[in-house]
Amino acid sequence: MDIKKVVIPVAGWGTRSLPATKNVPKEMLPIYNKPVVQYVVEEAQAAGLTDVVLVTNRNKTIIEDHFDYNLALEDVLTRTGKLDMLKTVRDVAEMVNIITVRQKKQLGLGHAVLCAREAVKNDPFAVMVGDDLMFGMEPGIKQLLNVAHSEHMPVVGVMEVPADKVSSYGIISGEEFAPGLYRVRDLMEKPKASETSSRLAMVGRYVLYPDIFDHLENLGPGQGGEIQLTDALKALTKSNRLLAVKIRGQRYDAGDWAEYLAANIYFALHDEDLRYPLVQRLKELLPIN
C-alpha cells in the first residue's frame, strides 16, 4: 500500500482569526517567513506524499497561486542577482503536485473531505488540516502512515489536551494496545469535559481508506449543522476498523492567537540572525525581576 495523496481542506472562513482573515486566508498568514499552509505541505512532502489535493473555495485562489511559479518575480530576482531568493521561490513551486477542488458550500470538515472523492478515487489517502502545525524528529503525518502501512487500517492522530480544551476537539476513547497506539471504540465531537473521561483529542492528521466516502455521503448534518468527519469515523469503530496514534512532537494551532504568536517566536528563535535581537526585545517587554 503506497499512499501518495493528501487532502488539505482550506475552504473555511477563518473566523477565529478575524479581522486578519477578512481578505487574507488564514492559511496564508505568515509564521516567521512562510505562510501557514506551506508548513503543512512541507510536512506532507517530508512524509513522501506527492499529490496534494487542496479543497478550496472561490476566494482562496491565492493559496494555489503560492505553489505556482511567479515568472515576473523570478525575472526581477534573476536581473538583480538575488539567486538564493530565486531558488527559494522556485522550490515552493516545485515541492509537490497541486490539485484543487472547490467546496462550493462550507459545510464542515467531513463535507470538505467528501468533495475530494473524485480526486482521490479508490486510493487510501491522508488528510491534514491546514491550521494544525506539527514539528518534530519525524513528521506527524508520517507517524500515522507508518501505522496504516503496518496495520492496514485507517488511523487518526491524537494528542492529550487539558480538560478545559476538550470541548474544542473531537475526542476518542479506546484501549492502548501498544505504546501510544489505541484501538478506537468511540468518538465524540466537542463534548463537555463532564461527558468523557478521555483527553485524547484528534489534531488534524488522518490516514483514511476510500470507504470513508460512503459513510460521509450517508450522513446528515451533525453538530453545528455541518457534515462532521467525526461522525463518519464513528461508523468505522463499529467494525473495529479505526486506530489512533499519539503523535510525538510540537504542535501549534494557527487559529489560536496565543499559539500562532508562539509559533512565530519558536521559529524566530531558531534563526541565528534573529535569536539575539528577539530575545533582547522580549526581555524589554517582559522584564525579569
Q: Which residues of the chain have pLDDT under 50?
A: none
Residue 227 belongs to a domain with what CATH number? 3.90.550.10
Domain hosting 117: range is 5-255
Structure confidence at residue 40 (pLDDT): 95
- Cα(201)–Cα(189) distance, rounded to whole angstroms? 10
279 in any annotated domain: no
217 in any annotated domain: yes
Structure confidence at residue 50 (pLDDT): 94
For the chain, what's the residue count? Answer: 289
231 in any annotated domain: yes
For residue 90, report the phi and psi dihedrals to the nearest 5 degrees: -70, -40
Under 8 Å CB-to-CB from 131, ≥6 apart: which residues? 26, 27, 36, 204, 253, 254, 255
| pTM score | 0.92
278 in any annotated domain: no
265 in any annotated domain: no
286 in any annotated domain: no
| Other residues' Cβ atoms within 10 Å of the Cβ of residue 277 | 10
285 in any annotated domain: no
Angle at 175 between CA 210 and CA 44, to 5 degrees: 40
Report the helix count and the strand count for the chain, using DSSP H and E. Answer: 11, 13
Residues 187 and 233: beta-carbon distance below 8 Å: yes
- Number of structural domains in the chain: 1
143 in any annotated domain: yes
